[in-house]
Amino acid sequence: MEFINKNTIKLDKEINELDKLVFKFIKILEKHSDYVIISGYVAILLGRSRSTEDIDVFIKETDFEAFSRFYDELKRDGFWCLNAEEVHEIYTYLSQGLAARFALKNHTIPNFEVKFAKKHLDKASFEDRITVVTQLGNIFISSLERQIAFKKYYLKSDKDIEDAKHIESLFKDNIDIEKINKYKKLLVKGNEIPKAGKGQ
């Protein structure tokens, strides 16, 4: 595992079944909307050995027609929505700032918790996202500094602290401490705290 540049990580770990599922979902999603993966799965992708029930994803807000095409392709490829079956209802959830969850048919976990990026911090996660290059293709994750700050200073569970420590130990020479402190101040003040990924 290495930084190719400040926005690209090359990953050489062995791909597992969760990774394969994530790429199956992302390869559909990226045809219809821009995205960034946040929270627990980031640490898992980067080699942390633990399980997760969901994969948290911010997507850029799309119109109904684009989302409908995305949902139709998900269904054709074996996914279902845990919240509702009807596409208008699912789109309403997202438009109201709520999450929609998708999983493989006949399963509820792991699932993909998808939200429109509506708040300033959510939208900003697209600006400094990182490309992770893997055997299965490329995938976008939020910046390491955002991950560390969110885990250490907002979620703060034992699991989240360990996620942050894992990322810090892997990339100690590539992490911008000033950025972490900036996000820490925003989170501690409660300014537009992102809700997706809580407890992951």
Q: What is the pLDDT of residues 175-197, one digit of tens each?
A: 999 999 999 988 877 544 444 44
What's the pLDDT score for residue 190? Answer: 58
What's the pLDDT score for residue 131? Answer: 98
What's the pLDDT score for residue 1? Answer: 85
pLDDT at 92 over 90: yes
Average pLDDT, the chain: 92
What range does the domain containing 84 cover? Answer: 2-143
Name the packing angle between helices 87-95 and 64-76 (round to 10°).
Answer: 120
pLDDT confidence tier of residue 199, bands split at 50, 70 and 90:
very low
**Residues 115-145: tens digit of each pLDDT:** 999 988 899 999 999 999 999 999 999 999 9
Which distant-in-sequence residues (6+ apart) come within 8 Å of 180 by Cβ?
A: 145, 148, 149
**Residues 36-69: tens digit of each pLDDT:** 999 999 999 999 999 999 999 999 999 999 999 9
- Name the burial class of residue 116, with classes exposed (0-12), middle (13-18) and buried (19+) by CB atoms within 10 angstroms of its CB: buried
pLDDT at 171 over 80: yes
What's the pLDDT score for residue 129? Answer: 96
Q: Is residue 182 part of a domain?
A: no
pLDDT at 200 over 80: no
| Residue with tokens 């991950």, as numbered in its chain | 147
- Contact (CB, 8 A) for 40 and 200: yes
Taking the alpha carbons at both ends of the chain, their separation in whole angstroms is 23
pLDDT confidence tier of residue 13, bands split at 50, 70 and 90:
confident
Q: Is residue 81 part of a domain?
A: yes
Give the number of domains in the chain.
1
- Name the burial class of residue 121, with classes exposed (0-12), middle (13-18) and buried (19+) by CB atoms within 10 angstroms of its CB: middle
For residue 157, report the phi and psi dihedrals to the nearest 5 degrees: -75, 165
- Contact (CB, 8 A) for 51 and 162: no
Q: Is residue 192 part of a domain?
A: no
Position 187: which residue type? L
Q: Is residue 124 part of a domain?
A: yes
Q: Is residue 107 part of a domain?
A: yes
* 3 state SS of 85: coil
| Alpha carbon 41 to its chain's center | 7
Q: Is residue 184 part of a domain?
A: no
Q: Is residue 32 part of a domain?
A: yes
Provide the percentage of residues in the chain whose pLDDT is more than 70.
Answer: 94
What's the pLDDT score for residue 188? Answer: 76
Q: What is the CATH number of the domain that holds 46?
A: 3.10.450
Position 94: which residue type? L
Q: Is residue 187 part of a domain?
A: no
Mean pLDDT to the nearest integer, 13-31: 96
What's the pLDDT score for residue 195? Answer: 45
